[in-house]
Amino acid sequence: MTTEPPWGSIITFVGITSGYLAVVGYSTVHLVMRRLSATSVMLGSIGLYGFLTLLYFVGRSSPHNLFRPTVPFAILLAACGGLAHRGWARRRHGGGARATLAAAAPAWAALAVAVAMLVAHPGARAYPGLLRSALYGGEERRACLFEDPDDVCGLLPAARQTVDDLEALASRLRVLGSARASVAVLDEIGPLIAQMAGARPWGRYQPMFPGLFTYDQVAAVGRDLREDPPELVVMRPRAEDRPFYADIWRELRVPVEDGFELDSSQGPFEIWKRR
């Protein structure tokens, strides 16, 4: 079975990479010619950082995550666009206040558009803070993952069920002695669960699923579950609950069912105790 290459992501990757290398090359040429300015240093540094960050994601991500390491590219695009427009304004209007106003106009227009988009976004309007309180009045009680002291707060009321499920899971782990027992959380939110329960994490990959890139790594974790098992295992009951990691879930479910017995179900998770 063959799949169609993600041409859109490939073309975007090539374009962004070319932009990074062009800026780095521009700064390098200025360095060699002893014409390096503060602007060239800044642009070259951002370009090099963006290029290296982009390379780090090659083979370690999905096409849907390409936007994550491209923030430096957006900064470079805005900076280079501003420099180009400033040069055009000077050539067209000469010096003086008129050229200064013409050069600054796009920046102020972009800022106005950004503010309008931010205010129009539902997530920004719902974000807790002084501005929201001033515009919309008092705020309803938001969900918190940690209550004493309050931490990771401000979650929308729609997340209350998720918070309740995680609190129930953490409470059951504490009853089972998670502070002394080693707990393997076979899920991508393992560090959060371990922190809430005060658990001692098991295994070298934290979080578990996102850290497993090869079949050999998955097989090694499966062997460790058999040969050096934790005292408790937390995982979801069905592969369909996390389809992106379904193959890893199926591979690790076998040693869990062979060497552990089900203790309880807490929300979307199961707790297994070593036999």
Does the structure show a pLDDT above 80 at 204? Answer: yes
Does the structure show a pLDDT above 90 at 274? Answer: yes
The CA dihedral of 163, 169, 174, 177, to the nearest 10 degrees, is: -160
CA-CA distance, 7 to 21, in Å (whole number)? 21
Does the structure show a pLDDT above 90 at 222? Answer: yes
CA-CA distance, 120 to 114, in Å (whole number)? 10
| % pLDDT > 70, the chain | 81
**Residues 37, 43, 48, 49: is their CA dihedral positive or negative?**
positive
pLDDT in tens, 161-180: 888 899 999 999 999 988 88
CA-CA distance, 176 to 269, in Å (whole number)? 15
Q: What's the token pair of residue 198? A: 């005060």
Angle at 191 between CA 189 and CA 194, to 5 degrees: 110
pTM of the model: 0.56
Q: What's the token pair of residue 16? A: 């962004």
Closest-CA residue to 235 (of 190, 199, 197): 190
Q: What's the token pair of residue 203? A: 């295994």
Q: Read off the amino acid at residue 211.
A: G
Question: Mean pLDDT, to the nearest integer, of 45-51?
Answer: 93
Rg of the chain over Cα atoms, rounded to whole angstroms, equals 26
Question: Mean pLDDT, to the nearest integer, of 268-273?
Answer: 95
pLDDT in tens, 1-39: 445 667 777 888 889 899 999 999 989 998 888 888 888
pLDDT in tens, 88-147: 766 776 666 666 676 677 777 878 888 888 777 777 766 666 766 666 665 555 677 776
pLDDT tier, 205 (very low <50, low <70, confident <90, very high otherwise) = confident
pLDDT in tens, 60-70: 666 667 777 78
Instruction: Give Cβ neighbours of residue 21 (< 8 Å, ≥ 6 apart).
Output: 47, 51
Instruction: Give Cβ neighbours of residue 246 (< 8 Å, ≥ 6 apart).
Output: 239, 240
| DSSP H or E segment with residue 192 | helix 190-197
CA-CA distance, 102 to 119, in Å (whole number)? 27
CA-CA distance, 196 to 174, in Å (whole number)? 9
